[in-house]
Amino acid sequence: MIYQIYPRSFQDSNGDGIGDLAGIEARLDYISRLGVDAIWLSPIFPSPMADFGYDVADYCSIEPIFGDLAQFDRLLAAVHARGLKLLLDFVPNHTSDRHPWFVESRSSRQAPKRDWYIWRDAAPGGRPPNNWISDFGGSSWEWDEETEQYYLHAFLKEQPDLNWRNPEVREAMSDVLRFWLDRGVDGFRIDVLWHIVKHQAFPDNPLNPHWTADTRERDKLLQVHSTDQPEAHTYSSDMRRLADSYGDRVLVGEIFLPNERHARWYGTPEHPQVHMPFNFQLIESAWDAAVLGRVITEYEASLPAGGWPNWVLGSHDAPRIAARIGEAQARIAAMLLLTLRGTPTLYQGDELGIGEVPIPDDRMRDPQHFREPERGIGRDRSRTPMPWDKSANAGFSTAEPWLPLNPDWPQRNVSEQEADARSLLQFYRQLLGLRREHLALSIGSFELIHSINDTLVFRRTYEGEELVVALNLGSEPRLCEFPGWERTDAVLASVLGAGMFTGTLQPDEGLILQLRPGH
Ligand code: GLC
């Protein structure tokens, strides 16, 4: 399992209210006890923080708020000493507008690095070169008064897009990967990988016929020409070749696309691309047994031969799972995440069941909120600090944290849940332990038994061991029987903590059952 840390909000060690690398190092035992395999850190590089680190001003250094390279090396060694892996966040699509490359690029039309970014003349009447819309709303093009051209930014105007068609850019970005791989990192999560190349002729994107005014402005258009270009696949197989030349390293790509196009990011056996294109379908789908049954089957069917699946339940960009489906179902979600075939990714704090965190207007920080305030899409509520214990500021910091804590932090914190055998945290640990013990749960084959009437039931099989996972996604008791079921089958785990199965799933109940040999 991959555990995502949002460094600003994990643990502060120097009393500025913002998390840092020394803080993460101090909490490594917690992560190790949880039973995960790898940690992915959201960006820790120097940044003006217009998009909280996803605007990188220097790819080969550490943001002073978080520490320095020596501290990073200590953290990496401490991670490795615990047998864990460390993945960094590689942000290839764009830099900060304060990155020296962009400062040079915008200095004049003749600047040697002019073509490192995407500059275009205005359309007639001074309009932007095409209709592309930034993911944060508004045109993707920003006018530069000095040099009288527009530059492209798929996100904020403070995040100009790099021109990946330029071989010098590709070489510079390969150097970035080498810099960290040489230091010993185990791989990367690659930010918005499907965005890195745009159609060479910059045609208008087509209108999205399904767009409605209550959804994000970005979705007015289908991003047909601004994303998922063939060359991006070529460049991602270049990244893979580079990573493979270091041996056992992993690349995870952030990719939001429908199954068929998503699956292409695995590449082919001759030209592999990322090991795992992140699969966000548990986040994006309605929490409904029939829907999830279909999503799981279609995703499994879409995987290329040898393509290893993965499932993501939360992130710093998505609403908290417990806020979305409620606390009782968050336990079902934990069981689902850890019993599906493929690598699970868990976002910090979801193991505590942190739910909705109201953020007062004057505490909001996320630029996505400020660009489209009326839509309620601010991401601050999933970026709040980890509550560790009952001490001041939940043990996160000696100072007021940069974002408010979850309001129930005096009860919902790591130390309380460590002391309570029935807590969600302990349930995550139990599930992770079971997943290690029973290979059927991690690498076993997957077979959907049924997904109707609020119940999602599937079988995992490996070398003679058969485990059945039965989940009730509703609030009514549900009969749950199928051929081969035996009443005395052992219950390995239950979200309600009972441990008997009588043929009925209680409301919000989930079970992992071991079918007896020869059933
Ligand atoms: C990714 C990140 C998100 C960021 C965006 C632009 O989607 O996860 O936080 O805002 O890329 O870099």
What's the CA-to-centroid distance between 81 and ligand 1, angstroms? Answer: 30
As averages over each run of 10 residues, the pLDDT of the chain (519 residues) reads 98 98 98 97 98 98 98 98 98 98 98 98 98 97 98 98 98 98 98 98 98 94 98 98 98 98 97 98 98 98 97 98 97 98 98 97 95 92 98 98 98 98 96 96 96 95 94 94 66 80 89 74
Catalytic residue list contains 191: yes
- Residue 511, strand partner residues: 470, 494
Atom of ligand 1 minimally distant from the CA of 136: 10
The DSSP code sequence of 440-496 is: HHHTSEEEEEEEETTEEEEEEEETTEEEEEEEE-SSS-EE---TT--TTPEEEEETT
Burial annotation 18-56 (CB, 10 A radius, 16+ → b, else e): bbbbbbbbbbbebbbebbbebbbbbbbbbbebbbbbbbb
What's the CA-to-centroid distance between 461 and ligand 1, angstroms? Answer: 37
Integer Cα distance of 268 and 396 in angstroms: 45
Atom of ligand 1 minimally distant from the CA of 155: 6
Atom of ligand 1 minimally distant from the CA of 367: 10
Q: Which of 135, 254, 380, 454 is catalytic?
A: 254
What's the CA-to-centroid distance between 51 and ligand 1, angstroms? Answer: 8
* Ligand 1 first shell, C-beta below 6 A: 51, 54, 91, 155, 191-192, 254, 316-317
Integer Cα distance of 331 and 510 in angstroms: 8
Q: What pLDDT is recorded for position 496?
A: 84
With helix as H, strand as E and coil as C, how does 79-138 read? HHHCCCEEEEEECCCECCCCCHHHHHHCCCCCCCCHHHECEECCEHHHECCCCCECCCCC
Catalytic residue list contains 171: no
Closest C-alpha to ligand 1, atom 9: 317
Atom of ligand 1 minimally distant from the CA of 94: 12
What's the CA-to-centroid distance between 199 and ligand 1, angstroms? Answer: 21
What's the CA-to-centroid distance between 476 and ligand 1, angstroms? Answer: 38
Helices (H) then strands (E): counts for the chain: 15, 18
Which helix (H) or strand (E) is 423 found in, with range? Answer: none
Q: Which of 20, 63, 186, 191 is catalytic?
A: 191
- Cα–Cα distances in angstroms (integers) from residue 340 to residues 92, 226, 311, 335, in the given order: 30, 33, 8, 9
Closest C-alpha to ligand 1, atom 4: 54
| Torsional sign, CA 436, 437, 441, 442 | positive
Atom of ligand 1 minimally distant from the CA of 368: 10
State which of 192, 316, 370, 372 you would mutate to test the pocket of ligand 1, scoring each by most atoms of that ligand within 8 A of its C-beta: 192
Ordered domains of the chain (ranges, CATH): 2-93+166-431 (3.20.20.80), 100-152 (3.90.400.10), 445-515 (2.60.40.1180)
What's the CA-to-centroid distance between 469 and ligand 1, angstroms? Answer: 34
Which helix (H) or strand (E) is 5 found in, with range? Answer: strand 2-5
Q: What pLDDT is recorded for position 486?
A: 62
Closest C-alpha to ligand 1, atom 3: 317
